[in-house]
C-alpha cells in the first residue's frame, strides 16, 4: 500500500515537472526559430508519401496517434494558438482559454478524407499569420501580453508560444519515430 502511494506521488511530481517545463519561457529568437522550422520539418517528413501510408501508429504505447493524426493535430493547434495570440494582442482585458481535447478534435475529423498537402498548407498559412502577428512586437511585449489558461493559470505570450513550440516538438518527434519504425 505504501509503495502504491509512493508510486502515485512520484508520478504526480513527474507530471507536474513536465507541465512546468512545457511553459518555462524560451528566449525570443530561439522560440521564433522553433516556430519557423516546424513547417520545414513537416514538408521533409511527409514528402512523397500518401495519407494511407502515414495513417500508421507506433508500437510505443506513449505515442497515441498515427503520423497522419499528428499532422492533423499540428494543423489544428497552429490555427488554435494563432487565434489565441490574436485575442491576446487585441483585448484590453486578459482573455481566458482552455486546454484542447485532441481525442474530441480527431473524432470530428474524417481521417479518410485527409490530404497531406492540404494539412501542411493550412499549417503553413496559419503559421505565417502567427509570425506576421509576432514580427512587429518588441522583446518586452512578449512578456507584457497575458492570457488565463485553465490548466496553467496566467501565461505570458512568451509562455503560451513556448507551450506551442514544445507541443510541436513532441508531436514532430512522434511523427519521426513512427515513420522510422515503419522504415519511411
Residues 28-78: pLDDT tens digits?
Answer: 889 999 999 999 999 999 999 999 999 999 999 999 999 999 999 999 999
> How far is residue 30's CA from residue 158's CA, in Å, rounded to a whole number?
11
Residues 80-120: pLDDT tens digits?
Answer: 999 999 989 987 777 888 888 999 999 999 998 999 999 99
Of 138, 154, 64, 135, residue with least CA distance to 101: 64
List the CATH code of the domain at 26-181: 1.20.120.450
> How far is residue 15's CA from residue 18's CA, in Å, rounded to a whole number?
5
Domain ranges, ordered by start, for the chain: 26-181
> How far is residue 73's CA from residue 80's CA, in Å, rounded to a whole number?
10
Amino acid at each position: 500500500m505504501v509503495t502504491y502511494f509512493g508510486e502515485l506521488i512520484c508520478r504526480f511530481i513527474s507530471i507536474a515537472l513536465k507541465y512546468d517545463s512545457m511553459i518555462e519561457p524560451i528566449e525570443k529568437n530561439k522560440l521564433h526559430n522553433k516556430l519557423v522550422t516546424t513547417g520545414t520539418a513537416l514538408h521533409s517528413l511527409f514528402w512523397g508519401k500518401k495519407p494511407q501510408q502515414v495513417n500508421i501508429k507506433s508500437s510505443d504505447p506513449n505515442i497515441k496517434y498515427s503520423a497522419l493524426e499528428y499532422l492533423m493535430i499540428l494543423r489544428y493547434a497552429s490555427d488554435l494558438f494563432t487565434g489565441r495570440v490574436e485575442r491576446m494582442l487585441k483585448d484590453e482585458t486578459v482573455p481566458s482559454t482552455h486546454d484542447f481535447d485532441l481525442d474530441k478534435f480527431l473524432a470530428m475529423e474524417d481521417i479518410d478524407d485527409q490530404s497531406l498537402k492540404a494539412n501542411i498548407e493550412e499549417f503553413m498559412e496559419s503559421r505565417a499569420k502567427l509570425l506576421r502577428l509576432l514580427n512587429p512586437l518588441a522583446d518586452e511585449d512578449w512578456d507584457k501580453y497575458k492570457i488565463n489558461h485553465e490548466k496553467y493559470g496566467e501565461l505570458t505570450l512568451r509562455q503560451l508560444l513556448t507551450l506551442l513550440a514544445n507541443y510541436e516538438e513532441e508531436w514532430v518527434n512522434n511523427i519521426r519515430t513512427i515513420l522510422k519504425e515503419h522504415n519511411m
